[in-house]
Amino acid sequence: MDIEQRVAAHYGDEALGRRLLEALALAGLDVDRLSPDELAPVDEFHVGGRQATVDFAEQLGLHPGLRLLDIGSGIGGPARYFASAFGCDVVGIDLTDVFVRVATDLTRRSGLSTRVSFHQGSALDLPFEAASFDRATMIHVGMNIDDKAKLFRSVRTVLRPGGIFGVYDLMRTGLGDLEFPVPWSNRPETSFVVEPAAYRKSLEAAGFAVVVERNRRDFALDFFREMRAKAEAAGGTPPLGTPLIMGAGFKEKLRHAAEAIERGVIAPIELFARVA
């Protein structure tokens, strides 16, 4: 298996769609009429959940009519939020076939299919026309991609002049080992966490001007504290949460990510870049 096949195998779990719908129904939701807000506890697969997406979106200058590409769209939480909150047309692309199918199904159940669609494919070889998007976003995906220079060249090609690219990834901020498994990888071979400076260098080489860099460490520490408090109050894992996507071993994966952020080894960082 090559790296991309291994990454897709890490995330892909055929039982995910059924598991999610069962949990949503058990929580008393009508699974045939779901809103992006109802889905938020389960479909935002990154540090900080929906609040992180809200904060990130504020810096993208979104408005109705914009065409946005969400790279590594997962099961579609951020894509549905961008479309429902700002009226953008959103296309998601993701390596993991199961995620694309679940994202498409949840979007239909949320009544957003006319404005949001998902495709299976690689961020390193985007199957879209040049200059066909106004915005591109990438949330917690770069940790699975080694060749960031190629990744950012591919994103640059599909963006229009003046386009904005927002990245929100876990990046290396200090010395020390990462303990595996983590939510994005069970082993070091499919984990490519690098410093913000390496992102900036590859973005600039691809023709972007980086305009904002924001470290979200404190926000992340609050998020993990709140997650632990909710688990304590629920007497275990709350019924709706990202553990549903992470499946087996989620406690260890989350603990390793939270500890690495606490130790200052990694931090969730936003970067916003303009087509130069």
Ligand X SMILES: C[S@@+](CC[C@H](N)C(=O)[O-])C[C@H]1O[C@@H](n2cnc3c(N)ncnc32)[C@H](O)[C@@H]1O
Give the footprint of ligand X on this chain (CB under 6 A): 4, 7-8, 11, 44-46, 72-74, 77-78, 93-96, 99, 122-124, 139-141, 144-145, 184
- Closer to ligand X by CB, 151 or 265: give it: 151
- Closer to ligand X by CB, 82 or 184: give it: 184
User: Contact, 80 vs 112, CB < 8 A?
Assistant: yes
User: Contact, 74 vs 102, CB < 8 A?
Assistant: no
Residue closest to ligand X when measured from CB atoms: 74
Q: How far, in Å, CA of 96 to CA of 112, rounded? A: 21
Q: At 270, which helix (H) or strand (E)?
A: strand 266-275
Residue 74 beta carbon to ligand X: minimum distance, rounded to whole angstroms:
3
- How far is CA 84 from its chain centroid? 17
Residue 65 beta carbon to ligand X: minimum distance, rounded to whole angstroms:
23
- Closer to ligand X by CB, 99 or 199: give it: 99
- Which CA distances in Å does 75 have to 12, 16, 187? 11, 10, 22
Q: How far, in Å, CA of 212 to CA of 232, rounded? A: 37
- Which CA distances in Å does 42 have to 75, 174, 219, 246? 9, 30, 19, 10
Q: How far, in Å, CA of 243 to CA of 226, rounded? A: 15
- Closer to ligand X by CB, 46 or 109: give it: 46
- Which CA distances in Å does 109 have to 72, 134, 273? 21, 27, 33
User: Contact, 156 vs 271, CB < 8 A?
Assistant: no
User: Contact, 29 vs 38, CB < 8 A?
Assistant: yes
Beta bridge partners of 68: 90, 135
Q: How many residues does the chain have?
A: 276
Residue 8 beta carbon to ligand X: minimum distance, rounded to whole angstroms:
6
- Closer to ligand X by CB, 21 or 79: give it: 79
Residue 240 beta carbon to ligand X: minimum distance, rounded to whole angstroms:
15
- Closer to ligand X by CB, 77 or 241: give it: 77
Residue 196 beta carbon to ligand X: minimum distance, rounded to whole angstroms:
18
Residue 72 beta carbon to ligand X: minimum distance, rounded to whole angstroms:
3
- Closer to ligand X by CB, 111 or 121: give it: 121
Residue 235 beta carbon to ligand X: minimum distance, rounded to whole angstroms:
27
